[in-house]
Structure 1
Amino acid sequence: MDLRHSLAGRTLRLAVLRISMVVVCASVISYVLNRSLIEDAVRAQLLLSTEKTIQRESLPFREIRELQQNFLAEFQAIDRDPLQRLALVRSFDDIFYRHDDGSYTQRPGLFEGQPLGDGRRFAHMSATYAPDIPPSDDVKARFVLSYLLSHKYGSVTQGRLFNFYGVLPEKGFPIYQAADIAKVFSYSGPQALQLETYEFYTRGFTSSKSDTFLTRMYFDSSNNAWMTTMATPDVVEANGQHRILACVDILLDDLMERLARPSIEGAYSTLFLADAEGTLMFHPQQMEAIKQTEGKASIQSLHLGAYHPLLHTGGQLEPGKVVLVDTPDDIVAVGRIPETPTILTIHYPRALMQPAILQNLAVVAALGLVTLLVEVFLLRSILQNQVTRPLQRLMRATRAVGATAELEKYDLPVQSEDEIGELARDFTRMSERIYEAHERLESMVQQRTLALEEANQKLAALSITDSLTGLANRRHFDKVLGEEWGRAMRSGSYIMLAMLDVDWFKKYNDHYGHQAGDECLRCVAHSIQAHASRVGDLVARYGGEEFVLIVTSTNPDGAQALVQSICQAVQALQLPHLLSPFGVVTVTIGMAATVPLPSDQPTDLLQQADAALYRAKEAGRNQVVQA
């Protein structure tokens, strides 16, 4: 009999068609599910990575803004004191001298560190004053005060910031930096200094606002680097004029280098200002255009139509917020860096997901093909041995009935029911094997699920823990501070915040090495943690050698005693510190406590503790000062 028209042939063709349809449907479902799962994982990773990036990149800008605000506050306090203003006017001629063209600069040798007659030194401080406005006593007082405060804040931030300067609207320009501007700038010739052409000067003194702003990025040929200026003007006076402008120039090369390598492999980043034009600060394909336009290239001027939705979304974001935007080619995380008007976008090309999706699809298709071949082979064997051949014998015997009555010589399929029963038993055994394989697969899935949950729990713990000290990290501290603040406000109880700083830690690091410095921080952290073990207390690493402590208590005296005991306990560790006046490692602590009111903010308490820490350092360190 022709197999193509037999019962076995039709059964095999139907089996092939059925299994092929199952494989196709399973492949389609697998493709859709895998694409959805992979895309969801990419979105979650992209969102988390971008949130961490913008928070990290905001730290230097936050530090600069706080320094500038402190500078302006100190400037205003001194500027309002008539006696101190008289002393400043008298110091004008000690610090500056007049050139033939009417301009002023610092006296020779001051920049190099030579002392004044009263012993004061102002290394790395230079200044220049325009010749077109003769200085009045008011200008002299402000010029000297800006010079003194620029040196104070610049020397404190040396090594972290490129420079620090306070500019007067009368074109007085004292600056703390490595280069002497008195030797670089002049008021004549083709390279004459014209402050009114600088963006920070015009924006700072023509606006009635006192908000901190960033200028467009520009390429500084003298430093061969991209830069931007962060400036904060003081509050305008009744006449609508500013008296001082605090500025810091920021090198952007390190920022660009970090943005060029996002933590997600295959992704790329862009950075632009949240202005109407979308002024570009970093774009991997547009850096030449940015340089040629001296930092004026923008999304609008370069006609980057695909970035218009990103510019619109970024302009509506609050600082620190991140959202995902879908484009035809990419999944884009859009976030606004706190303390800045800049928008960071991290693009993940959708094409990067295709290899993983196709790989999973290939596995499903291969399994389906193997299953098809195995089932066709088994089905063909069973049909031939237990259906086709017995039927053929029966057909031969049936044809012979009419020719002879001796049917006994034919092997008739009289036991056909037993064969069908055997087939049923074979199918049952095959089903049991499939069930066992399914059970093993379910067990493996449960094991993988438990392992994934355990990994997620570890990841969650790592995200709130400082890897060096084992304490809570800055992010967890910010969260707990907000929660404890709200709880204290509801219950009317005290909340105390202490900021602890390891004294002369940079000297310790330089002398003993970074490994010893890390071990020192761990020892200090363990000592602090040992004294803050009550429910509700939190010890966190705030950054570098700084720690913070949150204590919730109805007894302020108890909190004061706790903090004092920590200060004594650290000294009692007797960790040698040859470059410290105390001979051992010590900490300085500033603390503040309050019963929160609805009008207060947690940052108020943080600022009070920081100010107390500053006073404690000024008073000689290794002590506790309460705000």
Structure 2
Amino acid sequence: MKRRKALGNVIGVLLLGLLVTLVAELIDRQRQESLRHQQAAGQLQRLSAELEQTLGALMPLADPLAARLAADPQLPEEELRALTEPLLDRHRRLVNIAISRGLRIVHVNPLAGNEAVLGMDFGLRPEMMEGVRRAVARRGNSLAGPLPLLQSGRLGVIVRTPFFAGGADPRSGELLGLISTVIDLQGLLEDSGLYDPELPFALALRGREGLGERGEVFFGDPELFHEADLQREIVLPDGRWMIAAQLKRAQGYPPQRALWLRGGGALLTLGLLALVLFDGRPARGPQWSESMRKVPLRGFLSRRLLMLLLPIIAVQGWLSYQAALSAAEQFQKQLASEIGLRVHDKVAEFFEVPRRVLSFNAEQARLGLLDVAQPEALVGNFLLQLRQQSLLTFLSLGTAEGEYHAASRPPRGEDRALRMLQARQGDGRAMLLYRVDDANRRGSLISRGNAHFDARLRPWFRAARASGSMVWYPAYRYAIDDESGAYDAMGIGMAAPLYGRSGEFLGVLTADVALLQLSQLLADITRHTGGVAFLAEANGDLLATSSREPVYLLRGTRSIRIKASASDNPLVRTSGQAIAEQGSTEGRTFRELDGERYLVDWGSYALPDGPTLTIGVALPQRQFIAPTSGLLRNVTLVALAVLLLSLLGAVLLSNWIAQPLGTLSRWALRLGNGDWSGEKPVDSRVLEVGMLGDALAMMARRLERHTEELRQQVEARTAELERANRELLHLSSTDGLTGLANRRVFDATLAREWGRARRARQPLALLMLDIDFFKRYNDRYGHLAGDDCLRKVAATLQAGTRRAGDLAARYGGEEFAVIASDLDAAGALALAESIRAAVMAQAIAHADSPLGVVTVSMGVALLVPEDDNSPEILIKLADQALYQAKSQGRNRVEEALGNLAGQAQEVG
């Protein structure tokens, strides 16, 4: 029996020594890692500052040349070369200096190897125009890029320096041209030390055109931004880049330190073992048998400490773990919302392309600028537009005879060059696919497709004919049937009928986007989240998924759509089933899949004048609970350290320390109950008692600090969500251009005021106003000036409607409306007249108006609502009065006043 007890003591001491050594080494490793982190942060800061300084020094390099060109923009070629040569000599990383007159490059130095740059027009290079616009808007130097350089394909940054008419005064005068100073990016980074192989970390940079974290990664591994130990902003003259660094794990913990710590732990274990073996020998004497019935102080204190500390540590650890889980779940929900918003923005941008392009071409057709009788020139125009719209797949015309003429970008295959597609009666309606040259002229025949393609049978043609106006058509499979399968995909878009000057039907215009490109956009957004995003129609039919699963099946010539709830991807399928079960247009829920928990978040997006789509996002929880697992590990290690120190104290303590230990135990209980007040109650001269007290105090500080950090994080997240909700509410009720209430708010307010006026038997006034000759204003001054004019009229309208019952709103285009309650006829007319006069008093120049300034025409309607009528009558009356004001000369106010029954009958 005594031998087994002695053996148990030996094993216990050996385990204790092992655990103490492991904890000591872990703490030392953390300290060494923190030191490495601090040193790396300092080095990264120095590298960033050097790169900022280098870029800053390059910015004004071409300023003297810009001043010279502003004074004499027609310098000959020889003098331009003489002026640019010294600039090239001043910095070895300069690739070339290019000078443009207007937006076309007329000089480049050196010319050898840069011939592709000469003659380039910035206006035909959308990827470069952003930097050009920023430089012109700043009227000073702007940094563009990184961009692939035309001559080498290597990445470079470009300093744009515009010069203007007016000589030395850069704030006046029109744009004469730009100086583009091109710098090799790799060389720039090498000079800044970012290519040094001896760096203790791996680096990555992102931020094209100074967009910071929203820009593309142009240097290093993109994964570093998800696993970075350090991140820092590089401040540019007109933007910023982001740099991420990950410490190289090969430079880890020094093995010599581990050897010293383990040797010290072994010596400590041997000393404790000798103490236990010596102290465990039984005392000789008459009282020995009685003393055997007593519990040794070591065992007594060990048991008591375990009984006191284990519940405290367990409760605190569990509470901390649960709080961390809750914070991780909140963060997951917020990230899902943010990804949902990003998907929403990308989807809105994606579907805006066909609407905008089709509107432009429909307007061209209305003005007689599109000639259906010349299909080659028509398709050439379409090809030019496709070069500017990378998301657009088709821009086409189906004629009244069923012929088809289209410009297209294949959605599949490696050959993504633009093509011309034609199906003409003279060719038996066979679909022919041609290449096109850089001048948008038809080239060689690539292949044949559908043997009998009749445009009149296509969904987009039928949708436009049935609607009689611009309309979205449902997703459909392309019927090109080309030999290479480059058009084996689905698309969606808008179509509009075309009519001649005599009203005869000419055909249908369509702008189409392939859903494969939308899937690519979704995949880019969710690439590093471990989840999926998908887009579906209201009935659940899939349009696109980030995981690239098929969204339709072929059964002969028929295409069968796949619903989200039946997708081949298990996560999309589970998410689709969850959305179908909830039956709501937006929501959030958790689902289990293969033993893993996912957050499913969805919302709706209504296409303008089109169908409502569902945007779904599913994210795994594992990526968000990793920090929580680390917290649980740290709490466990701290608990083990406290327990080990307590057991070590129990071995070395004597009877007279029992009371201090009891005091410490009671203090620990208070800490476990969340009472952080008060200092350590015992200041014992015994080292072990002091260590135990210090350990408890350290645990209390850590737990208190962690609890406070969690509270602050929750408060910060809550504040961010509230601010986002307020911004979303403001955006949903405000017209983005003028700042007035939008059409939705106008309709809701009119319905509410109509009901209130009907119950109170009080009159309700509606003012409709339209800017006179606004199309002429746009044609003369441009759409930017037109937008500015709309904002000025809106500001005048806002200033003139200050009563609590007034609402000024943008009704549509250049048309505005004012709802005025509790006004009689005289008051409504007076309000309208004051607004008309205020707009005219602004004296906004309008050369194509008879009065030479911008004016408005206004219609006023005033009714006392009846139970059997609706607000539409008031709108029609005000619109009739507006029409009367415009037909009688404009810049005037006309009224439509009277009783409801009479006016309603008149309107009918």
- For residue 191 of structure 1, what is the amino acid of its counterpart? R
**What corresponds to 1:459 in structure 2?**
727
1:124 matches 2:370: yes
1:480 matches 2:749: yes
Provide Cα deviations, 1:385-440, integer angstroms capped at 9, x if missing partner. 9xx33449xxxxxxxxxxxxxxxxxxxxxxx9799779979999974256996897
Considering Cα pairs closer than 8 Å and 6+ residues apart, tell me whether 1 or 2 has the greater RCO. 1
Q: Distance in 2 between matches of 1:11 and 1:362?
A: 29
- For residue 37 of structure 1, what is the amino acid of its counterpart? Q
1:572 matches 2:841: yes
- Contact 2:535 2:613 (C-alpha < 8 Å) held by counterparts: yes
Provide Cα deviations, 1:232-251, integer angstroms capped at 9, x if missing partner. 9xxxxxxxxxx999996552
Alignment of 1:201-600 (within 5 A): 214-217=473-476, 219=478, 226-228=491-493, 249-253=509-513, 270-273=534-537, 281-284=543-546, 296=559, 298-299=561-562, 304=567, 310=576, 321-322=585-586, 328=593, 329=598, 331-333=600-602, 335=604, 337=606, 342-351=611-620, 353-363=621-631, 365-366=633-634, 369-370=637-638, 373=641, 377=645, 388-391=653-656, 431-432=677-678, 455=723, 458-459=726-727, 462-463=730-731, 464-466=733-735, 469-503=738-772, 519-542=788-811, 545-590=814-859, 592-598=861-867, 600=869
Alignment of 1:148-159 (within 5 A): none
User: What SS class does the counterpart of residue 602 from structure 2 fall into?
Assistant: strand
Q: Distance in 2 between matches of 1:190 and 1:174?
A: 10
Between Structure 1 and Structure 2, how many residues are aligned?
496
Provide Cα deviations, 1:546-602, integer angstroms capped at 9, x if missing partner. 543222235244223312321221111112234544432333445555444455555
TM superposition shift of 1:480 = 2.9
Residues 312, 197 of structure 1: alpha-carbon distance in 2 compared, 3 angstrom cutoff: farther
197, 203, 209: which is aligned to 2:457? 197
Stretches of structure 1 that go unaligned for 5 or more consecutive residues are 65-110, 114-120, 129-161, 233-242, 393-415
TM superposition shift of 1:296 = 3.8
Provide Cα deviations, 1:348-383, integer angstroms capped at 9, x if missing partner. 2221x5433432453465356446646865x57986
User: What SS class does the counterpart of residue 561 from structure 2 fall into?
Assistant: coil
Residues 164, 525 of structure 1: alpha-carbon distance in 2 compared, 3 angstrom cutoff: farther
User: What SS class does the counterpart of residue 740 from structure 2 fall into?
Assistant: coil
- Contact 1:228 1:249 (C-alpha < 8 Å) held by counterparts: no
- Contact 1:279 1:296 (C-alpha < 8 Å) held by counterparts: no
Q: Distance in 1 between matches of 2:656 and 2:456?
A: 106
> What TM-score do the two structures reach when normalised by structure 2?
0.41
Q: Distance in 1 between matches of 2:520 and 2:813?
A: 26
Residues 441, 322 of structure 1: alpha-carbon distance in 2 compared, 3 angstrom cutoff: closer
Alignment of 1:9-48 (within 5 A): 9-15=302-308, 17-26=310-319, 28-30=321-323, 32-34=325-327, 36-38=329-331, 41=334
- Contact 1:336 1:343 (C-alpha < 8 Å) held by counterparts: yes
Q: Distance in 1 between matches of 2:564 and 2:666?
A: 76
- For residue 389 of structure 1, what is the amino acid of its counterpart? S
TM superposition shift of 1:532 = 0.5
Provide Cα deviations, 1:191-245, integer angstroms capped at 9, x if missing partner. 188465334666899x9999x88354455979x995545589xxxxxxxxxx999
- Contact 1:502 1:588 (C-alpha < 8 Å) held by counterparts: yes
Indicate the percent of aligned positions where both proteins have the same amino acid: 26
- Contact 1:492 1:595 (C-alpha < 8 Å) held by counterparts: yes
Residues 18, 273 of structure 1: alpha-carbon distance in 2 compared, 3 angstrom cutoff: closer
Residues 247, 313 of structure 1: alpha-carbon distance in 2 compared, 3 angstrom cutoff: farther
Q: Distance in 2 between matches of 1:480 and 1:561?
A: 22
Q: Distance in 1 between matches of 2:575 and 2:735?
A: 37
User: What SS class does the counterpart of residue 191 from structure 1 fall into?
Assistant: coil
**What corresponds to 2:389 in structure 1?**
none
Q: Distance in 1 between matches of 2:348 and 2:864?
A: 29
Give the structure with the larger strand fraction: 2
Q: Distance in 1 between matches of 2:808 and 2:800?
A: 10
Q: Distance in 2 between matches of 1:228 and 1:189?
A: 27
Structure 1, 475-484 or 448-457: larger mean CA deviation: 448-457
User: What SS class does the counterpart of residue 846 from structure 2 fall into?
Assistant: coil
Residues 569, 190 of structure 1: alpha-carbon distance in 2 compared, 3 angstrom cutoff: same
TM superposition shift of 1:11 = 3.4
Residues 499, 365 of structure 1: alpha-carbon distance in 2 compared, 3 angstrom cutoff: farther
**What corresponds to 1:412 in structure 2?**
none
TM superposition shift of 1:530 = 1.4
User: What SS class does the counterpart of residue 253 from structure 1 fall into?
Assistant: strand
Structure 1, 551-560 or 302-311: larger mean CA deviation: 302-311
Q: Distance in 1 between matches of 2:610 and 2:785?
A: 40
- For residue 570 of structure 1, what is the amino acid of its counterpart? V
- Contact 1:58 1:337 (C-alpha < 8 Å) held by counterparts: no
Q: Distance in 2 between matches of 1:542 and 1:310?
A: 38
Residues 466, 600 of structure 1: alpha-carbon distance in 2 compared, 3 angstrom cutoff: same
Residues 484, 583 of structure 1: alpha-carbon distance in 2 compared, 3 angstrom cutoff: same
- For residue 315 of structure 2, what is the amino acid of its counterpart? V
- Contact 2:840 2:854 (C-alpha < 8 Å) held by counterparts: yes
Q: Distance in 2 between matches of 1:595 and 1:16?
A: 78
- For residue 326 of structure 2, what is the amino acid of its counterpart? L
**What corresponds to 2:293 in structure 1?**
none
Q: Distance in 2 between matches of 1:543 and 1:363?
A: 56
- Contact 1:16 1:372 (C-alpha < 8 Å) held by counterparts: no
- Contact 2:354 2:511 (C-alpha < 8 Å) held by counterparts: no
Q: Distance in 1 between matches of 2:815 and 2:454?
A: 42
What is the root-mean-square deviation of aligned Cα atoms in Å? 6.4
User: What SS class does the counterpart of residue 345 from structure 1 fall into?
Assistant: strand
Q: Distance in 2 between matches of 1:423 and 1:202?
A: 83
Q: Distance in 1 between matches of 2:605 and 2:372?
A: 36
TM superposition shift of 1:531 = 0.9
**What corresponds to 2:103 in structure 1?**
none
Q: Distance in 2 between matches of 1:60 and 1:604?
A: 36
Stretches of structure 2 that go unaligned for 5 or more consecutive residues are 1-278, 281-295, 358-363, 375-393, 408-420, 431-452, 498-502, 680-699, 897-908
User: What SS class does the counterpart of residue 489 from structure 1 fall into?
Assistant: helix
User: What SS class does the counterpart of residue 471 from structure 1 fall into?
Assistant: coil
> What TM-score do the two structures reach when normalised by structure 1?
0.56
- Contact 1:279 1:299 (C-alpha < 8 Å) held by counterparts: yes
Provide Cα deviations, 1:37-73, integer angstroms capped at 9, x if missing partner. 3465467768888999999999999999xxxxxxxxx
User: What SS class does the counterpart of residue 432 from structure 1 fall into?
Assistant: coil
Residues 521, 314 of structure 1: alpha-carbon distance in 2 compared, 3 angstrom cutoff: farther
Provide Cα deviations, 1:524-559, integer angstroms capped at 9, x if missing partner. 222111111111211234566554322223524422
User: What SS class does the counterpart of residue 533 from structure 1 fall into?
Assistant: coil
- Contact 2:340 2:601 (C-alpha < 8 Å) held by counterparts: no
TM superposition shift of 1:338 = 6.5
Q: Distance in 1 between matches of 2:648 and 2:564?
A: 73
User: What SS class does the counterpart of residue 6 from structure 1 fall into?
Assistant: helix
